[in-house]
Chains A and B, each alone.
Chain A
């Protein structure tokens, strides 16, 4: 097993300073660790220092006029307990509560999921469909980047070596859904996952797909077939067919390309059907 020294700086500035002092590859931030620990165990990364983010004041969940900002180190489990997440961002709620298991979500974080950028991430599709935006903290202050621009490939992001993800912002409540197919419901990764959302402000749909290489992606060609909050069945069928034809699937140990193409069509139809306006806000 690799050896490393673990410390927990008290401020984001101190984490950034430690990252800079250690130089490239010398230090790694640790959020929940549910993904990073495997790389540490197997030596794919071998930093001398691991910097736990547990003392940063980022385990937060903030609402401003319906826009949701999730602190990067908030355990995913905490998101499930907020009733507004369920009603205003139903697709996000479904995606979060289907990550791993209850005991895994007590450690896992949204910041970690985005930074680790696994090609089979089950959160990135819904972040894409909801136009989520990251607040990045670095030595020059903060900058904002959409998830779509941040995630550039399998395990590759635009994060600079001395930057941290501070929060993930969801700009507006959207009817949304997340549908998946797995061998096992818990503690498994989807063979195909589909996230859909309808934006009431610009009256357009987003369709995102996971289980593709090199990273989850939006399918604007499929979304264009959908118009209005309640698209007719023929339009939904066309969107499903376009998703099946255009998704960059490959065969791997989880599923064949052919199986994924069949799956994605069903999942798009199901997800669009579940994407319905939120019930009126009450209580």
Chain B
């Protein structure tokens, strides 16, 4: 029931989140209750991908996920440390290619691509990575550097 605390493991740390109203989104729980502001609110309607986090290893829109609907889930956000090798790899590729300007959309891109790497056992084809990234909007890079980061992920030897 809504009154119960919601257990969540976020970036390896166990939390029991209390007093969460039924309509609250995972996005808001992460940002406002747990203080993890790396996950961004964009359109709040599933169209921009800025809020993507991993839920049990899978890229998921946190703006369309009710916190009460994922009790016990393992959540990974952009704040995760190097223990998540996929996230670390994507972050490094973005840094090496300078694949950001304002950075607002970057956490969503990184988690979307890291989710695909998790699904595919760390190797994913360029086309599949680009299709996944198609769910994320960037309004300032023009995407060229992001595509280069994707190509780096698809071709680097792992």
Q: Is the CB of B1 within 8 A of A5?
A: yes
Instruction: Mark interface residues in A20-43 (1 if CB within 8 Å of B CB, else 0).
Output: 000000000010111001101100
Q: How far is the CB of B65 from chain A (nearest CB, A)?
A: 6
Instruction: Mark interface residues in B116-129 (1 if CB within 8 Å of A CB, else 0).
Output: 10010000000000
CB of B16 within 8 Å of the partner chain: no
> A106-B58, A107-B60 given as contacts; is B135 within 8 A of A101 (CB)?
yes
> A104-B135, A106-B55 given as contacts; is B68 within 8 A of A52 (CB)?
yes
The residue of chain A having its C-beta at the shortest distance from the C-beta of B3 within the complex is A5
Complex partner residue of B135 from A1, A2, A81, A187, CB under 8 angstroms: A187
The residue of chain B having its C-beta at the shortest distance from the C-beta of A38 within the complex is B45
A5 neighbours in B (Cβ, 8 Å): 1-2, 22
CB of A77 within 8 Å of the partner chain: yes
Q: How far is the CB of B70 from chain A (nearest CB, A)?
A: 8
CA distance A104 to B60 in the complex (A): 6
CB of A102 within 8 Å of the partner chain: yes
A30 neighbours in B (Cβ, 8 Å): 66, 69
A233 neighbours in B (Cβ, 8 Å): none
CB of A4 within 8 Å of the partner chain: yes
CA distance A7 to B2 in the complex (A): 7
A103 neighbours in B (Cβ, 8 Å): 49, 52, 59-61, 112, 115, 135
The residue of chain A having its C-beta at the shortest distance from the C-beta of B119 within the complex is A81
CA distance A8 to B69 in the complex (A): 8
The residue of chain B having its C-beta at the shortest distance from the C-beta of A81 within the complex is B119
CB of A6 within 8 Å of the partner chain: yes
Q: How far is the CB of A239 from chain B (nearest CB, A)?
A: 30
Complex partner residue of B115 from A7, A32, A102, CB under 8 angstroms: A102
The residue of chain B having its C-beta at the shortest distance from the C-beta of A4 within the complex is B22
A37 neighbours in B (Cβ, 8 Å): 64, 66
> A100-B46, A101-B134, A107-B64 given as contacts; is B23 within 8 A of A3 (CB)?
yes
Q: How far is the CB of A115 from chain B (nearest CB, A)?
A: 17
CA distance A5 to B55 in the complex (A): 22
Q: Is the CB of B135 within 8 A of A100?
A: yes
Instruction: Mark interface residues in A84-125 (1 if CB within 8 Å of B CB, else 0).
Output: 000000000000000011111011000000000000000000
CB of B47 within 8 Å of the partner chain: yes
Instruction: Mark interface residues in A31-70 (1 if CB within 8 Å of B CB, else 0).
Output: 0111001101100000000101010000000000000000
Q: Is the CB of B23 within 8 A of A2?
A: yes
CA distance A101 to B48 in the complex (A): 10
B45 neighbours in A (Cβ, 8 Å): 38
The residue of chain A having its C-beta at the shortest distance from the C-beta of B67 within the complex is A6
Instruction: Mark interface residues in A161-189 (1 if CB within 8 Å of B CB, else 0).
Output: 00000000000000000000000011100
The residue of chain A having its C-beta at the shortest distance from the C-beta of B65 within the complex is A107
CA distance A187 to B49 in the complex (A): 9
A41 neighbours in B (Cβ, 8 Å): 23
Q: Is the CB of B1 within 8 A of A107?
A: no
Q: How far is the CB of B66 from chain A (nearest CB, A)?
A: 6
CA distance A54 to B46 in the complex (A): 20
CA distance A2 to B59 in the complex (A): 27
Residue among B22, B49, B58, B131 facing the most chain A CB atoms (10 A cut-off)? B22
B81 neighbours in A (Cβ, 8 Å): none
23 residue pairs from A and B, CB less than 8 Å apart? A4-B22, A4-B23, A5-B1, A5-B2, A6-B68, A8-B69, A32-B64, A33-B65, A33-B69, A37-B64, A52-B66, A100-B135, A101-B49, A101-B112, A101-B134, A102-B112, A103-B61, A104-B135, A106-B58, A106-B60, A186-B135, A187-B46, A187-B134
Can you add 4 more A-B contacts, CB < 8 Å, to A6-B1, A100-B46, A185-B134? A102-B112, A106-B55, A186-B135, A187-B135
6 nearest CB pairs, A to B: A101-B135, A186-B134, A6-B22, A103-B59, A6-B68, A187-B47
